[in-house]
Amino acid sequence: MPEGPMRVLVVDDEPMARASLRALLNDDDDVELVGECADGEQALQSIRVQQPDLVFLDIHMPRRTGLEVLELLEDDERPRVVFTTAYDQYAVRAFEVHALDYLLKPFDDERFRRALKRAKDDWMRDGDRSAGLRDLLADLGQDGLAGLERVEPPEVTIENKDRISIHREGRVDIVEVASIDWIESADQYVRLHTADCELLMRASMGHMEGTLDPARFLRVHRSAIVAIDRVRRLESRGGGIGRLLLADGTWVPVSRARMATVRKCLG
């Protein structure tokens, strides 16, 4: 049985994606985050130096793809891998067969926890780290991702300003607009915060701002939209910026450029 925490490396060219994975990993006392990489060349060097037990590996990255990184590693250098990918389930059939696990972007916290548990279970069994990756690379062949199609951003359907339909992983999540406390930017995604859950979906903040009812929602920062009726306090922070206290206790930043509008809206 391995000793100490499982050592994990995060590889993704999107800063917000790395931040999300870092936050999720930091909540687990059984793992140790040993590094982060923003491109394939960094990943190749870090894997060889750090020798992590597990890598969360993006596929499309600058300099080298995630698959190119694996191809350049010797069998005994290849760690366990959970792929993070924007390919749909049909296109990633090879990953389903051979990879330890994969996370289809956008994924939620529960899906992440299932992938991490599967990786920890394999690590505790001290299974063969390289066999599945060897078969995966063989299946994909020299062309790597040739023939695989990127997922188009799912259409966000807002019905009569009251309901949002989010399509992902073979299901449709329905969110009542009235249940939303605030919306947070997460790079090419947005995160909906409600009283019951958080939902990640592929959309822009500009799209959400332009679609939601401006009488009910207010853009207060480039990274935040709030439900006006959830706001309980506005505080100035100096330098012209501020922050809002929401009903659930969350503090949301207010940018300098939007302070006057927020003050006017809140009366």
In a domain, 50, yes or no: yes
14 versus 158: the higher-pLDDT residue is 14
The two tokens of residue 44 are: 């190749």
Same domain, 161 and 129: no
In a domain, 1, yes or no: no
In a domain, 60, yes or no: yes
What's the pLDDT band for 127 if we cut at 50, 70, 90?
A: low
> What's CA 68's distance to the chain center, in Å?
22
Same domain, 103 and 174: no
Q: What is the mean pLDDT of residues 74-101?
A: 69
Determine the pLDDT at residue 150. 41
Give the domain range for residue 135.
6-140
Instruction: Give 138-151 pLDDT, tens digit per residue.
Output: 655 544 444 444 44
Q: Tell me the CATH number at 38.
A: 3.40.50.2300
In a domain, 145, yes or no: no
pLDDT of residue 94 exceeding 80: no
Q: What is the mean pLDDT of residues 153-172?
A: 64
Residue where a domain terminates, one of 112, 140, 168? 140
- The structure's pTM equals 0.55
| C-alpha span between 11 and 36 (Å, rounded) | 6
Residue 33: partners with Cβ closer than 8 Å, 6 or more residues away: 8, 9, 10, 22, 25, 26
| Amino acid type, 128 | D
What's the pLDDT band for 152 if we cut at 50, 70, 90?
A: very low
186 versus 185: the higher-pLDDT residue is 185
Instruction: Give 29-56 pLDDT, tens digit per residue.
Output: 899 999 999 989 999 999 999 999 999 9
Residue among 228, 220, 209 at smallest CA distance from 256: 220
Same domain, 234 and 131: no
Determine the pLDDT at residue 144. 45
The span from the first CA to the last CA of the chain, in angstroms, equals 62
In a domain, 76, yes or no: yes
**Under a CB-based contact definition with an 8 Å cutoff, are residues 179 and 163 in contact?**
no
Instruction: Give 237-264 pLDDT, tens digit per residue.
Output: 888 899 999 999 999 999 999 999 999 9
Determine the pLDDT at residue 208. 87
CA angle, residues 119, 121, 125, in degrees to nearest 5: 115
